[in-house]
A and B are shown apart, each in its own frame.
Chain A
Amino acid sequence: MVPLPYYLVLSGMLFACGVVGFLIKRNIITIFMSIELMLNGVNLSFVAFAAQWHALSGQVFVFFVMVVAAAEAAVGLAIIIAVYRTRETLNVDQVNLLKL
């Protein structure tokens, strides 16, 4: 059996990749994918702990996260399409009308 720290390190690396991608990428689709990466990093730590402690609640949480992520993907992609139609760009640095 693979010991817990391996999972946690992988989970942390996935999460860090997501954060870094979120921060440095300009393309909104990529940012969106980075968010998914962060969610899955967290999911991995959940199932890892669930397997470690033989508790089912961790796995239940993962299902919840996946459902929410799916809903979020549907809404988020719709927003992205709407943004693209009006602004004709996917570069978030150019979607900045809300500043002072």
Chain B
Amino acid sequence: MKSNLHLWLIPILPLLGMAVNGFFGRRFSRQWVAAVALASCGGSFAMALNIAARVRGLALPHTEVLTTWIKAGGLNVGYAFYLDQLSLVMLLVVTGVGFLIHIYSIGYMWDEGGFYRFFAYLNLFMFFMLTLVLANNYLLMFVGWEGVGLASYLLIGFWFTKDSAAAAGKKAFIVNRIGDFGFLIALFLMFKYFGALRFDQVFLAVSDFRPETSAGLLTAIALLLMVGAAGKSAQIPLYVWLPDAMEGPTPVSALIHAATMVTAGVYMVARSHMIFERAPTALTVVAIVGTLTALFAATIGIAQTDIKKVLAYSTISQLGYMFLACGVAAFSAGIFHLMTHAFFKGLLFLGAGSVIHAVGGEQDMRRMGGLRYYAPWTFWTMTIATFAIAGIPPLAGFFSKDEILWKAYSSGHWVFWLVGIITAFITSFYMFRLWFLTFFGDYRGAAADHHGHIQADTHSHGEPHESPLVMVVPLVILAVLSFVGGWAGVHGRFENFLAPVFNEGRASLGLEAGSEVAPGRLELILTVASVAVGFLGLYLAYLLYVRRPQLPEKIAGSMGGFYAAVLNKYYVDELYAALFVKPLIDGSTRILWRGVDQEIIDAAVNESADGARHVSDNIRHMQSGNLRSYAGWVASGAAAVIVYMIWVGVR
């Protein structure tokens, strides 16, 4: 059945919302701004739901060509949308979580200046993210890719009067640019060798290739795509921008830097699975990068005291899991984790926002505590999210994480599995640490202390309080999703749903569709192990932060230099500053600015101006105002001409 789905409406609606709020929002009341933003975003969500409801009757993949965008020579890039199971999942996650976070933001940002600006940016982000997800060619995807980077930059620097926020926005943008450079070169390579950028054309060209045993074209393209994905999805070595991005408002962290934008890299890798599957070297690199990032970021997360920083490193770590899944060619497991992660990490960030709201802008967990009495809804929803990310069954995180670990193990590289399960343990530990520090014990914060988070609270902060209903409702909905979201993966239903996307490449590779080791006793043992490490993390956190609160300091003291390294994020920022930033600034200052610009370009301009002035200084004395001297010049000039003519004549 060929039907018109009007896919183009889905991204356009938020763009309209952005235009209305951006151009006229200043004159609107807050209620109107919120209504416009919610209506545009909710419209997209409703359309996505409608499509999802009709999915059985649709002929997927479904392509919708709006118009030709670029037509030059052999290049023909359409403004066209592409819907298959993969983009449908992304569509639902982006619009659904995005819609909930829009609702939440109304409560969270109500007292902030620039309310309309915030929602205009948020809608702009939705537009670009949906463009990215729905694009039917790499170039349009790249447009969305860059656009979400822009929206991210604008939203991180939302409180632009704060220096650290402006710097964080800049850092995110520049680091992302490095990744985009790789992505762009990959596009150039595709165009040069395949002559096309449309997904189906590229994949058709790729399907003629055999898997590359040594480095070749596909490996190069795949690795360059991975560079782009590492930038956008905050993987080693380009992850440094994400922790700093926490300077943005908390709903932004939830939407962009946890649930949607940062998963764009995973989506892109999964979308390009045809290329990656034929480049085993690149796949291994993806898996290694993902595994290392997962472990690395998780260890940093242990020592952070800022509640949002813990969640930021946790996000990096979980993204590492998704890349690990992609790296062992378990793309559907990666996308599955992407979805559940969007639920529980979005919830964690929104819960953290609610906590920060409750204690009046404090972000340091050492100054929280006992909040379960003050903010019970936040506490219970955060509890579900924490148990979900720790991998405790039957919550969402358990299913997706277990799926990834099983796939990592069955891929034959048990090292990936080992690092993955260690990371799962650390994840569980630092999440329960956050949980205990925030919600248990006694409240340690001073009342009415504003610090860190810029919030123009007018109401006094006598003691912590629960957030308004408009913030609690999204928390509850996300909590429900974090609880049941994982059940979609039971009996491989999620994998079967995505199978049409990921099997098309396998067939031509000679692998039978969805070739799987039969789940047997081994999988059960591994599952038990992963649940066990989840509870072990819970127990350890309980021991250290509830039973013996003095112990962590002692351990930290005995660790010495290693603890300092972890606390300072392994000095990676300092390393980058010394390796790249400082030489760049020095080189720009000394060579480009003082050398080239001042000594050569400026000097050339100044010297020629000086020369002209010098010459005219001398020449102007001819113009004495004395009539007879003018006459003399005329006469001598005439004489000179005559002498010249005579001389020419004689010769």
Please list the residues of chain A having a beta carbon within 8 angstroms of any beta carbon in chain B: 19, 22-24, 26, 31, 92-93, 95-100
Contacts and interface: CB of A to CB of B under 8 A. Distances in A.
A98 to B, nearest CB: 5
Interface string B622-650: 01111110011001000000000000000
Nearest to B636: A23
B624 A92 contact: no
Contact of A93 (B620, B623, B628, B635): B628
For the residues of B in contact with A, the DSSP-based class is: helix
Nearest to A96: B625
Nearest to A22: B631
Nearest to B620: A100
A31 B627 CA distance: 10
A31 B631 CA distance: 10
Contacts of A95: 627
A93 B621 CA distance: 16
Interface residues of B, number: 11
Interface in B229-277: none
Nearest to A97: B625
A96 B626 contact: yes
Contact of B624 (A23, A31, A99): A99
B627 A96 contact: yes
Contacts of A97: 625
A19 B632 CA distance: 9
Interface in B510-536: none
Interface of B: 620-621, 623-628, 631-632, 635
Contacts of A99: 623-626
B632 A93 contact: no
20 contacts: A19-B635, A22-B628, A22-B631, A22-B635, A24-B628, A26-B628, A31-B627, A92-B628, A93-B626, A93-B627, A95-B627, A96-B624, A96-B626, A96-B627, A97-B625, A98-B625, A99-B623, A100-B620, A100-B624, A100-B625
A51 B624 CA distance: 44
A26 B631 CA distance: 12
A76 to B, nearest CB: 13
Nearest to B627: A92
B631 A23 contact: yes
A34 B224 CA distance: 88
Contacts of A98: 625
Given A99-B623, A100-B625, 14 more contacts: A23-B631, A23-B632, A31-B627, A92-B627, A93-B626, A95-B627, A96-B624, A96-B626, A97-B625, A98-B625, A99-B624, A99-B626, A100-B623, A100-B624
Contacts of B625: 96-100
Contacts of A22: 628, 631, 635
A95 to B, nearest CB: 7
A23 B631 CA distance: 6
Contacts of A26: 628
Contacts of B620: 100
A100 B623 CA distance: 7
A34 B624 CA distance: 22
Contacts of A24: 628
B212 to A, nearest CB: 79
A97 B623 CA distance: 11
A14 to B, nearest CB: 15
A83 B624 CA distance: 19
B135 to A, nearest CB: 69
A36 to B, nearest CB: 15
Contacts of B627: 31, 92-93, 95-96
A97 B624 CA distance: 9
A98 B629 CA distance: 13
A24 B627 CA distance: 11
A31 B632 CA distance: 13
A26 B626 CA distance: 11
A45 B649 CA distance: 21
Closest 5 CB pairs of A and B: A99-B625, A96-B625, A92-B627, A98-B625, A99-B624
Contacts of A93: 626-628
B220 to A, nearest CB: 70
A63 B459 CA distance: 103
A1 to B, nearest CB: 28
Contacts of A23: 628, 631-632, 635
B642 to A, nearest CB: 11
A99 B628 CA distance: 13
B625 to A, nearest CB: 2
A93 B620 CA distance: 18
Contacts of A96: 624-627
A100 B621 CA distance: 8
A99 B632 CA distance: 16
Nearest to B624: A99
Nearest to B626: A96
Nearest to A24: B628
A79 to B, nearest CB: 12
A29 to B, nearest CB: 13
A31 B624 CA distance: 18
A26 B628 CA distance: 8
A100 to B, nearest CB: 5
A22 B632 CA distance: 9
Nearest to A93: B626
A100 B616 CA distance: 12
A92 B625 CA distance: 10
A90 to B, nearest CB: 12
A21 to B, nearest CB: 10
B621 to A, nearest CB: 8
A93 B630 CA distance: 12
Nearest to A99: B625
Contacts of B623: 99-100
A23 B629 CA distance: 8
A19 B642 CA distance: 15
A95 B631 CA distance: 14
Nearest to A34: B631
Contacts of A19: 635
A86 to B, nearest CB: 16
A96 B628 CA distance: 10
A93 B631 CA distance: 12
A58 B631 CA distance: 27
A63 to B, nearest CB: 25
A23 to B, nearest CB: 6
A99 B629 CA distance: 11
Contacts of B631: 22-23
A24 B620 CA distance: 23
